[in-house]
Chains A and B, each alone.
Chain A
Amino acid sequence: MTPPRLSRAMPVALLAVAAVLPLFFPNEYYLQILTQGYIFAISACGLNVILGLAGQLSLAHAGFFGIGAYTLALLGTKAGVPFWAGLPAGVALSAAMGYGIGSICLRSRGHYFAIFTMAVGLIIHLVIQKWESLTHGHVGVIGVPGPGAIGPVTFDSSAARSYLALGFLALTITAIARLMDSPVGRTLMAVRENEALASAVGLDAMAAKRLAFTISAALAGLAGGLFAGSIGFLGPESSNVEMTFNTLLYVMVGGIGSLTGPVAGTFIVYGLSQVLAVLQQFQMVFFGVALVLLILFMPTGLAGVWRSARAGWGGRVVQRP
């Protein structure tokens, strides 16, 4: 079994680096990118729960991101609900919808599940786009409330917001790590690896997959709410198919099923896309090709490469992906 100390070192080190980054880049623009990066990383971690831990390709992910975002945005602009109430509301709604949709979708397997969730994601996106009386359609929502002060701590500056996002990311990773290392996580991985055997030893496969789907929806909703609150305005493109693909790419690059892989993948891909903004229009071409090349030549992502390297150094790594 992986010695606990080794598997904690990486996230802690990254956290330390991340904590001091704003000091080196006090630039507004970079801080905003950093914040967005943390938020997309949360979403990627969420996708990783259903894709990596449960082994199911959910293409509805952006839909839940959009639900979290729009819940916060609409409650804030139409009902005056502050950020700190709107955010949990968005997460709760995403989770509830994830539970309900998952109960239905997860009865389908493999390809059918992917197609079904693609349809669901598209339905959510189209409803957001076309229900103009509620969501303002293409025009979007402006004036979304940002995070208000908690006691003496305010979140008006970009640096503060980036720390807030980082805090949520750290919480997310901690939560997922604890889940992975528990009977709940092992059940998920057992169901993914051999559902027949898992059922034969008394594990409710449907319940396990639905739990994973709910968690992934909740995390997507959390990311969506943070996204809306940090930028201040919101449009339907937050729930479109491109958002799902980007998230998928982040997870693939980092390594499906690994704990910190999605974070690394997000920063590498999203970071590159921002830094190389000059190639903006070719971005999606690269992303598409990258996804194909990855799946052909490096399907386990960076985490897989890292694991192989460690195993090659004489360590026997029992796969607890």
Chain B
Amino acid sequence: MELFAQQVLNGLVTGSVYSLVALGLTLIYGTMHVPNFAHGQLYMLGAYVSYALVTRAGVPYWGALGVSVVALALVGAALERLVFRPLRHTPPLNAMIAALGVMLCLEAVAQNIWGEEFRHMDSPYSGVVSVFGLPVAAHRLVLLVAAAGLMIGLLLFLTRTLAGSAIRATAQSPEGALLVGIDTSRVATATFALSAALAAVAGSLVAPISLVYPSMGALVTLKAFAIVVLGGMGSVPGALVGGYLLAMAESLGGTYVSATYQDLVAFVVLALVFTFKPSGLFREAA
């Protein structure tokens, strides 16, 4: 029973990370119809920036996270302006290939700067806390709370502010948004920046309880796609729920079925969904 509870908790923690990443991905896909294959690398770079600032420059954890968020937001905005915007009216294939190129490049950059080794980062929240009698690493609890807070904030932003509504509207229907006068170019840049920022938060939050290495993003990208396909491209609630669901499936599956093939869960789910529903579970808004 305790093992089960532990795994549920793990699922929640991992799910928080997955949801944040998937949120960013779904927003980009909804607004720009670009499957950003490089998304996982933004997550990875977010982790590395925090890692570098904390371990090399002695910057306090939350400060480092903040810098990471800003830095990656700028990277995201730059990617949108320099790479994806010029490709907006070209065949969809081109944007996909460009995304692949960015993916390659970013991972290689990380490899060159920090090397292949698995890096460890200390959390300011060491120690173990007792939650309903369960021993829980303090940082995990912080992660859960921080992620939840961020998601609430994001939801408020998307529903209560003008900018957020513009993003949501564009994510649901870029054509419709144009019709009502939304500046879809600015929305595109803002969405990319926001999305990269979310990835950076996710990466920075998870770094102390996981390890930091250049290919940590690759698997996450595909899992994020699995979530987005499951939850609906462009759907915020879909990404949120999907992230936790997938993490639970992985956690429980890894414990009770097979640990070796844990990573496969996401991809098998993805393959199954596409097999029965070639266009994903939800039709995109026309």
In the complex the two chains form, what is the Cα distance from A291 to B100 in whole Å?
A: 8
Residues of the A chain whose Cβ atoms lie less than 8 Å from the Cβ of B267: 119-120, 122-123, 126
A110 in the interface, Cβ–Cβ < 8 Å? Answer: yes
Report which of A108, A111, A281, A291 forms a contact with B92, defined as CB distance below 8 A.
A111
Residues of the A chain whose Cβ atoms lie less than 8 Å from the Cβ of B94: 295, 299
**Residues of B103-150 contacting chain A, CB below 8 A:** 103-109, 111-112
CB distance from A137 to the nearest CB of B (A): 10
| Closest residue of B by beta carbon distance from A292 | B101
Q: Which of B9-17, B175-183, B221-229 touches A?
A: B221-229
Whether the Cβ atoms of B274 and A108 lie closer than 8 Å is yes
In the complex the two chains form, what is the Cα distance from A57 to B93 in whole Å?
A: 7
> Contact string, B56-95, partner A, CB cutoff 8 A, digits 1/0?
0000000000000000000000000001001100101110
Whether the Cβ atoms of B104 and A111 lie closer than 8 Å is no
In the complex the two chains form, what is the Cα distance from A105 to B275 in whole Å?
A: 7
A153 in the interface, Cβ–Cβ < 8 Å? Answer: no
In the complex the two chains form, what is the Cα distance from A288 to B92 in whole Å?
A: 18
Whether the Cβ atoms of B270 and A116 lie closer than 8 Å is yes
A130 in the interface, Cβ–Cβ < 8 Å? Answer: yes
Q: Max chain A CB contacts within 10 Å: which of B101, B229, B274? A: B101
In the complex the two chains form, what is the Cα distance from A118 to B109 in whole Å?
A: 22
A252 in the interface, Cβ–Cβ < 8 Å? Answer: yes
Residues of the A chain whose Cβ atoms lie less than 8 Å from the Cβ of B280: 112
> Contacts A114-B35, A118-B222, A119-B267: A288 and B279 contacting too (C-beta < 8 A)?
no
In the complex the two chains form, what is the Cα distance from A242 to B92 in whole Å?
A: 22
CB distance from A101 to the nearest CB of B (A): 9
Residues of the A chain whose Cβ atoms lie less than 8 Å from the Cβ of B83: 292, 296
Report which of B112, B222, B261 forms a contact with A119, defined as CB distance below 8 A.
B222
**Residues of B179-197 contacting chain A, CB below 8 A:** none
In the complex the two chains form, what is the Cα distance from A245 to B93 in whole Å?
A: 14
In the complex the two chains form, what is the Cα distance from A241 to B37 in whole Å?
A: 12
Report the interface size for chain B: residues with CB under 8 A from the other chain. 43
> Contacts A111-B35, A123-B267: A296 and B92 contacting too (C-beta < 8 A)?
no
CB distance from A57 to the nearest CB of B (A): 6
Residues of the B chain whose Cβ atoms lie less than 8 Å from the Cβ of A299: 90, 94
Residues of the A chain whose Cβ atoms lie less than 8 Å from the Cβ of B271: 116, 119-120, 123
Residues of the B chain whose Cβ atoms lie less than 8 Å from the Cβ of A252: 97
Whether the Cβ atoms of B105 and A115 lie closer than 8 Å is no
Residues of the A chain whose Cβ atoms lie less than 8 Å from the Cβ of B96: 57, 111, 114
Residues of the A chain whose Cβ atoms lie less than 8 Å from the Cβ of B241: none
Q: Max chain B CB contacts within 10 Å: which of A59, A119, A245? A: A119
Residues of the B chain whose Cβ atoms lie less than 8 Å from the Cβ of A57: 93, 96-97
CB distance from A191 to the nearest CB of B (A): 15
> Contact string, B273-285, partner A, CB cutoff 8 A, digits 1/0?
0110011100000
| Closest residue of A by beta carbon distance from B37 | A118
Residues of the B chain whose Cβ atoms lie less than 8 Å from the Cβ of A288: 101-108
> Contact string, A218-258, partner B, CB cutoff 8 A, digits 1/0?
00000000000000000000000110010010001000000
Whether the Cβ atoms of B105 and A285 lie closer than 8 Å is yes
Residues of the A chain whose Cβ atoms lie less than 8 Å from the Cβ of B156: none
In the complex the two chains form, what is the Cα distance from A292 to B101 in whole Å?
A: 5
Report which of A105, A110, A122, A248 forms a contact with B100, defined as CB distance below 8 A.
A248
CB distance from A53 to the nearest CB of B (A): 13
Report which of A111, A119, A296 forms a contact with B270, defined as CB distance below 8 A.
A119
A-B contact pairs, 5 of them (CB 8 A): A122-B222, A126-B261, A242-B104, A285-B105, A290-B101
Lowest 8 CB-CB distances: which A-B pairs, in order? A288-B105, A291-B101, A288-B104, A284-B108, A292-B101, A107-B278, A108-B278, A285-B108
B-side interface residues toward A, CB under 8 Å? 33, 35, 37, 83, 86-87, 90, 92-94, 96-98, 100-109, 111-112, 218, 222, 225-226, 229, 260-261, 263-264, 267-268, 270-271, 274-275, 278-280
A-side interface residues toward B, CB under 8 Å? 55, 57, 59, 104-105, 107-112, 114-116, 118-120, 122-123, 126-127, 130, 241-242, 245, 248, 252, 281-285, 287-292, 294-296, 299
